[in-house]
Amino acid sequence: MGWLARVVPLVLSFTAACAHVEEVRVRQVLDDESVRLTETPRPELSHARVKATLSGGGLALLVRAESRCLVQFAERIRTRERVRRTPSAAALAAEASLMAIGLAVGIGLRRGSSADGDLDGGDVVGVTALAVGMGSGVALGVDASRYSDTEVESTRLVPEAAPRVVPCERRGTRPTRAELITPAGRRFVTLLDGMGRGGVRLPDDIWVDDQVDFDVKVDGALVQRLVIVRPQ
């Protein structure tokens, strides 16, 4: 078995000399959407909008409330990445050739070697050829097993640099009461329905040169100034 002790180191050295593996990565964006990470109500920035329409002797009101929030947005990106690892085809072919040649030569020479246990010149060549063949075979198996083709899907969030003030996603409390106040201090109050609609009657003595001004409060908060002009 002395020849085996000479073969093993050579086999190990061939095993360590594996083929170069080429890695190719291809990334595909599957979808990209804007999402809200956080939403903080900002009541001081939320205002109702009042639309007034003269109807007969009254004033029809339509109140729209828009809640404002400080929102931190982020881009949610879902990707698919394909990773393909391919050993060098030239190296695999060389390893296969060396394995075939080495084993053929080594086995042939070992069959014709002397039986006294001593290694002559042919035995040395045969042992070396076997080592080359076995080492190339092991390297071929290792390199072939390093081939892979996988796909991985992942999702990542990329926050925007700073939050923004925008309409809230969740609808706030609906307005329930509107109050009209003239510069002289006269007040007209109406309750609003679920659609933000209400109305008040306007007495004839409120008009000044066919015009009247109102400060409008919605649920106690001053929201805007209305100037109503009576048509001739």
pTM: 0.49
Give per-residue pLDDT as tens, 118-157: 555 555 565 666 566 666 666 666 666 667 778 888 899 9
CA distances to 1, 20, 79, 87, 146 from 90, rounded to whole Å, are: 35, 10, 33, 9, 15
Q: What is the mean pLDDT of residues 24-30?
A: 87
Mean pLDDT, the chain, whole residue set: 77
Residue 94 has pLDDT above 80, yes or no: no
CA distances to 24, 28, 69, 153, 157 from 33, rounded to whole Å, are: 27, 15, 20, 16, 10
The tokens for 31 are 């979808």
> Looking at residue 215, what is its pLDDT?
93
> Looking at residue 105, what is its pLDDT?
62
The 3 state secondary structure assigned to 96-120 is: HHHHHHHHHHHHHHHHCCCCCCCCC
Nearest to 134 by CA among 3, 42, 2: 3
Give per-residue pLDDT as tens, 151-198: 888 899 999 999 999 988 877 678 889 999 999 899 999 999 988 899
Give me the residue spans of the domains in the chain. 2-229
> Looking at residue 65, what is its pLDDT?
82
User: What percent of the chain is predicted at pLDDT more than 70?
Assistant: 65
Residue 11 has pLDDT above 70, yes or no: no
> Looking at residue 88, what is its pLDDT?
66
